[in-house]
Amino acid sequence: MPAEPTGGARTHRLRVTEVIVENADTHSLVLQAPPDATDRFGYRPGQFLTLKLPGTDGGWAARCYSLSSSPHTGEPLKITVKRVIGGRCSNWVCDEVRAGDEIEALPPAGTFTPDSLDTDLLLVAGGSGITPVLSIAKSALSQGTGKVALLYANRDDSSVVFRDELWGLTEAYPERLVVIHWLELLLGLPGVDRLAAVLAPYADRDAYVCGPGPMMDVTEQALRSLGTPARRIHRERFFSLSGDVFDVPAPSAPVAGTDEVSGSVRVELDDETHTVPWPSATPLLDALLAGGVDAPFSCREGSCAACTCRVVSGEVKLIRNEVLDEQDLADGYILACQAVPLTERVEVTYS
């Protein structure tokens, strides 16, 4: 198997205990964390794992796959992977991975997860977007008290993944779960007006949407036309990783255009407080890792929010930010992988 040790304190080898062929294009991997890292692989519904997989030219690539299991049902950790045409990693997973193999992974990350499982939810999935949505649905139904409406769009009947599991959920929760299948072969592509007509009864709920970009755009437009505020529409953001996120770096070189301020950062993480040097123009995450602090991360590109923390005092600047909104920033939240210091002393917390 591919996983070679990389020395990152946050990476772990997960054992594949089962491979489930969901259909010809989609496989699920049931995974087991090492006994000393079980708590690291606790997760929230809707989150993903970042795996280290063989890339092109004998190198390595990092890929993020959503968890289709629920942390609230007692089932083991499970990711679901759909083949991407020409995609080296997804096809490798579907063709090569067997039970007993080991894969190196980062702990779960991601912000596509409901704040509460006790409110009514609208879930919209297109194709393989069902993976995190199923995790949320199972969690809300088993752990929460609200109702769940799930619209699931597919090309045709043969593309529907998790058919039996969804059927089982509708049987188990007839008063709380509605599943609406939208098959494009029969209904055509979902358009704004027709989608709005179907979603209208659920427009006052928090909506979680995952699927191809155009489908998420249409869903958002439909919900906005129904009066759903933007802040209640949550889209899973897909991103591709260009760097090797498994390689823990030395502090990086200064970034052009950034103020030259050197100093230190005091960080509160997992009920411990550390103070480490924070060289000018070095991303906070790099400074923390170099200082021996086991700070969380995944993409290291400002795209996933796994490294989110909050500034308590001092000032920082974000080099790149694709996930935090204006309110997050106003509340002091930052991305450690993209934050550089603007003041000599900075204090941050992960609590």
Q: For ligand FES, which is the closer residue by CB, 83 or 300?
A: 300
For the CA atoms of 277, 281, 283, 284, the dihedral, rounded to the nearest 10 degrees, stands at 40
* 316, 334 Cβ separation under 8 angstroms: yes
For the chain, what's the residue count? 351
Q: Minimum CB separation from ligand FES for residue 284, in Å?
A: 10
Q: Minimum CB separation from ligand FES for residue 79, in Å?
A: 18
| Helix, coil or strand: residue 311 | strand
- Burial classification of residue 135, based on how many CB atoms lie within 10 Å of its CB (0-12 exposed, 13-18 middle, 19 or more buried): buried
Q: Minimum CB separation from ligand FES for residue 306, in Å?
A: 5
Q: For ligand FES, which is the closer residue by CB, 48 or 152?
A: 48
Q: For ligand FES, which is the closer residue by CB, 25 or 301?
A: 301
What is the C-alpha to C-alpha distance for residues 56 and 305, in angstroms, rounded to an integer? 27
Tell me which residues touch ligand FES (CB under 6 A): 297-300, 302-307, 335, 337
Q: For ligand FES, which is the closer residue by CB, 127 or 302?
A: 302
Closest CA to 253 of 224, 211, 285, 282: 282
For the chain, the helix, strand and coil percentages under 3-state DSSP, each to the nearest 5: 25, 30, 40
Can you count the helices (H) and strands (E) in the chain? 8, 18
Q: Minimum CB separation from ligand FES for residue 228, in Å?
A: 27
Q: For ligand FES, which is the closer residue by CB, 26 or 66?
A: 66
| Helix, coil or strand: residue 220 | helix
Q: For ligand FES, which is the closer residue by CB, 29 or 306?
A: 306
Q: Minimum CB separation from ligand FES for residue 6, in Å?
A: 16
Q: Minimum CB separation from ligand FES for residue 163, in Å?
A: 33
Per-residue buried b or exposed e for 81-96, using 16+ beta carbons within 10 Å of the residue's own CB: bbbeeeeebbebbbee
